[in-house]
Protein backbone atom coordinates (compact mmCIF):
# COMPACT_ATOMS: atom_id res chain seq x y z
CA UNK A 1 0.00 0.00 0.00
CA UNK A 2 1.46 3.33 -1.07
CA UNK A 3 1.98 6.02 1.55
CA UNK A 4 0.29 9.34 0.83
CA UNK A 5 1.26 12.58 2.52
CA UNK A 6 -1.52 14.44 4.40
CA UNK A 7 -1.72 17.29 1.88
CA UNK A 8 -2.31 14.91 -1.03
CA UNK A 9 -4.89 13.00 1.00
CA UNK A 10 -6.85 16.19 1.75
CA UNK A 11 -6.75 17.22 -1.95
CA UNK A 12 -8.08 13.80 -3.01
CA UNK A 13 -10.84 13.89 -0.40
CA UNK A 14 -11.95 17.37 -1.55
CA UNK A 15 -11.91 16.16 -5.16
CA UNK A 16 -14.13 13.17 -4.32
CA UNK A 17 -16.54 15.26 -2.21
CA UNK A 18 -16.99 17.64 -5.14
CA UNK A 19 -18.35 14.68 -7.18
CA UNK A 20 -21.11 13.93 -4.67
CA UNK A 21 -24.67 14.79 -5.71
CA UNK A 22 -26.39 15.96 -2.55
CA UNK A 23 -30.19 15.51 -2.23
CA UNK A 24 -32.44 18.55 -2.24
CA UNK A 25 -34.48 19.54 0.80
CA UNK A 26 -37.63 18.23 -0.93
CA UNK A 27 -36.02 14.83 -1.66
CA UNK A 28 -34.82 14.58 1.94
CA UNK A 29 -38.26 15.46 3.31
CA UNK A 30 -40.02 12.93 1.08
CA UNK A 31 -37.51 10.19 1.94
CA UNK A 32 -37.85 10.90 5.66
CA UNK A 33 -41.65 10.77 5.41
CA UNK A 34 -41.49 7.44 3.57
CA UNK A 35 -39.20 5.99 6.25
CA UNK A 36 -41.60 7.03 9.02
CA UNK A 37 -44.55 5.60 7.07
CA UNK A 38 -42.81 2.26 6.54
CA UNK A 39 -41.78 2.07 10.20
CA UNK A 40 -45.39 2.76 11.23
CA UNK A 41 -46.74 0.08 8.86
CA UNK A 42 -44.15 -2.45 10.02
CA UNK A 43 -45.03 -1.74 13.66
CA UNK A 44 -48.74 -2.32 12.97
CA UNK A 45 -47.97 -5.53 11.05
CA UNK A 46 -45.79 -6.99 13.82
CA UNK A 47 -48.30 -5.95 16.49
CA UNK A 48 -51.08 -7.79 14.65
CA UNK A 49 -48.91 -10.89 14.09
CA UNK A 50 -47.98 -10.86 17.79
CA UNK A 51 -51.63 -10.65 18.81
CA UNK A 52 -52.62 -13.56 16.54
CA UNK A 53 -49.75 -15.74 17.73
CA UNK A 54 -50.53 -14.90 21.34
CA UNK A 55 -54.18 -15.89 20.80
CA UNK A 56 -53.12 -19.19 19.13
CA UNK A 57 -50.73 -20.07 21.96
CA UNK A 58 -53.40 -19.31 24.61
CA UNK A 59 -55.90 -21.45 22.67
CA UNK A 60 -53.48 -24.39 22.40
CA UNK A 61 -52.45 -24.21 26.08
CA UNK A 62 -56.06 -23.83 27.19
CA UNK A 63 -55.49 -20.58 29.05
CA UNK A 64 -58.64 -18.98 27.71
CA UNK A 65 -59.39 -17.25 24.54
pLDDT in tens, 7-48: 898 999 999 999 999 999 999 999 999 999 999 999 999 999
Q: Count of domains in the chain?
A: 1
**Whole-angstrom distance, CA of residue 55 vs CA of residue 58:** 5
Q: Is residue 10 part of a domain?
A: no
Say what the alpha-carbon torsion angle 46, 50, 53, 58 is, to the nearest 10 degrees.
Answer: -170
Domain range spanning residue 63? 30-65
The percent helix, strand, coil of the chain (3-state, each to 5) is: 75, 0, 25
Q: What is the pLDDT of residue 1?
A: 61
Q: What is the pLDDT of residue 5?
A: 87
**Whole-angstrom distance, CA of residue 65 vs CA of residue 63:** 7
Q: Is residue 35 part of a domain?
A: yes
Amino acid sequence: MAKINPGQFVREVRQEVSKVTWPTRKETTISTGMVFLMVFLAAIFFFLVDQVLSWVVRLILGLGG
